[in-house]
Chains A and B, each alone.
Chain A
Amino acid sequence: MACEMACGYHRDDGFALLSSCIMVTRGREKKDYYAVVVKEEENLVIARPEGLEIRKLRSTGEDDKGREKEDASAKPLLLREPCDLCSDRKEGPLCLQFCPVNAIYME
C-alpha cells in the first residue's frame, strides 16, 4: 500500500491511489491471500505468494477463468499509465524505496 502511495506521488506530486501503476490486491483478506500487481507497457506482472506470473494485457487464457471476480480489486489498474520505473528519478523506483516491509525488489 505504501508502494501505491509512493507511485501515486510520482504521478501526481500529492498522495492518492488513483494513478498508481502498482497495486496490492486486497480483495481476499479473509483468506489472507494478497498479490502485488504492476502494470507494464504490454504486461501485467503479478507476484503471488506461490510465484510470479507475467500476463499479456488483454489475454483471455484458460487460466483466467473463474478469477475475474476475485481479481476485481485490481481492475482499475488496467486503465492506468504503465510503470516507467520512475525514470526521472536517479535513485530508481519510489515504490521500492518506500515499501516498509521490504516486500518488493527489482531484478
Chain B
Amino acid sequence: MEYLASNKIAIIDLANSKITEEKLDEDLVRERMGGVGITQTLYERFKDEEPIVLGSGLLTGTLVPASALGMITAKSPLTGKLSHAPLTLYGGMELKYSGFDYMVIKGNAPKPVYLWIHDGIADINDASEVWGKDVWTSTDLIRESLGDLLIQVLGIGKAGESESDVAQVLINYWPSGDRWGFGKVFGLKKLKLVALRGMTLLEISDPSGFVGKCKELLLEVKKGPSAGKGGIGDLSAALGEDIQKWLEPIVHSHRSCFNTPYPTNTFVFLEEEPKRLEESKKNEPGFLITDLYALIGFKKLGLSASEACAVLRECARYGVDAMAVSELSQKSGKKKLEEIKKSFSTLKGSLESIGKGRFSPWAPNLGLSPAEWERRQAVAYIFGIHPIFIQLSPELSEERLIELANIGTGLEFTSETLEEVISDITK
C-alpha cells in the first residue's frame, strides 16, 4: 500500500515480548478498504489469542474534513461480541502517523508493560513506573519520561488494572467513546497504556487533485447544516435534552478533534474563572467533556453542572466509563458526589446504555433511523471520519468519500466494494 499509509502492520505478542512487522497488503486494502474493514479481518485472524487491534481509516489524518478517527477493535467483556470503539481528539491522527497503519496486540504480559509506538518503531517497555497510578498521573509521567508533551496516550486507570467490566481506555486525560469495557482487556493483558507519536510522511497518489477536492468539500461543509454551531450544549439540543443554560456558567471553550469543523467537546473550568483568557495558574483547573450521554446522566441524578463535571473528572482519573457510572448510580439511588466516587471500585450490574451493535453508542443518534445511524457509523469507521460529525454533515457522502479515497490512494474502490465491507462488518 503505497499512498495514504505507512504500509506497516505491527503484530505485538505481549506473552513473549516479540514484535513482528508485516506489510499492509494492497490486495487486503482493495478488498477490505480500511479502518474497521481491516481491524476486523486482523481480529479474526488472531482471535484465539484475544487480540486488541488498533487502526486508522483510509482517510484519517488528512485534509479531508473531520478525518480524526482511529479505532480499537476487540471482544467486549460486557457483550462478548466483537466491537469497535472510536479514538477521536488527536488519538486517531497520531496513530496514523506513528508509522503503523494497524497494530495487533495479542497475548498477556507476565508483568505490567506499556507500548511506545513512534516513527515506525514499536517497543514493549516496563510499566512499573506507572502501574497503580491514575490515568492523569500516568499520562503526565509517560510524557515526561519519553520527553514529548505531544505524545498521545491510550491508557487505563485503576478500573482497568483491577479488571472492572466497565473500565475504559482513555485518550490522554479524557474519556474516549469506549463503551465496551476495553479497559478491562488492557488490564487483563497487563497493558497500562499505548504511547503514540509520529512524524511519518504520508504520500498522496494525486497530491493536487486530492487537496483540491478536500478544499471544495470543506467549503461546502462550512456552509452546511452544522455551520455556526458547536459544543456539547448544541449537541444536547439536537437530542431534545437542553443542557445549555445548566452548563453555560462554567464553559471555558468548545474544542474540536483533529481537523473537525464542529467542536464536539466542551472544556469547563471548575476551579477557575470560566471566562479567563490567560493561562490558568492552576495545573488542573477543569475538564474536557467528551461524553454527552454521561453528562446528561449525571444531570438527571440532580447534580449541578459543576458537580456533574467533577464526577466526570473523577471517572476519567479512575479510568471508568462515566456513562456506566451514571446509569448504575441511578439504579442504586446514589445521588451525591462522594458516594458516587466511593462506588467506583464496586460497580456491578447490567447496563442498557452499551448498545447492541458493533459501533459504540457513545456517538449520539442525531435524528437518523437506527439502520441509518449504523450505516453512517460503518462509513465513518472505514474512512476514518469523526462518528458524530459524519451525522451532522451530509456533504460527507459515501460517493465523495470513495472519490477522495481513490484520488488519494490511486486504488479503484467502488460503491460495490463499500457495500460488501459494510455488509460484512454490520452482520
Give A contacts to B, CB under 8 Å.
1-2, 5-6, 9, 12-18, 26-33, 48-50, 70, 72-73, 97-98, 100-102
Contacts and interface: CB of A to CB of B under 8 A. Distances in A.
B62 A98 contact: no
Interface string B188-227: 0000000000011111100100010011001000100000
22 contacts: A5-B63, A5-B259, A13-B203, A13-B207, A14-B202, A14-B204, A16-B202, A26-B149, A27-B150, A30-B173, A31-B282, A33-B280, A49-B277, A49-B278, A72-B149, A97-B215, A98-B214, A100-B65, A100-B66, A100-B218, A101-B256, A101-B263
A73 B149 contact: yes
The 10 A-B pairs with the shortest beta carbon distances in the complex, nearest first, are: A27-B149, A2-B259, A100-B261, A32-B267, A16-B201, A15-B202, A50-B277, A49-B277, A33-B279, A18-B199
B177 to A, nearest CB: 18
Contacts of A30: 136, 173, 283-284
Given A15-B201, A16-B199, A18-B199, A2 B253 contact: no
Nearest to B230: A101
Identify whether the interface residues of B are mostly helix, strand, loop, or mixed. loop
Given A14-B207, A15-B204, A73-B149, A28 B279 contact: yes
Given A98-B218, A100-B260, 18 more contacts: A1-B90, A2-B258, A5-B61, A5-B62, A9-B211, A14-B201, A15-B62, A16-B97, A16-B199, A28-B279, A29-B172, A31-B282, A49-B278, A70-B279, A73-B148, A97-B218, A100-B66, A101-B261
A15 B255 contact: no
A31 B173 CA distance: 11
B280 A26 contact: no
A98 B63 contact: yes
B358 interface: no
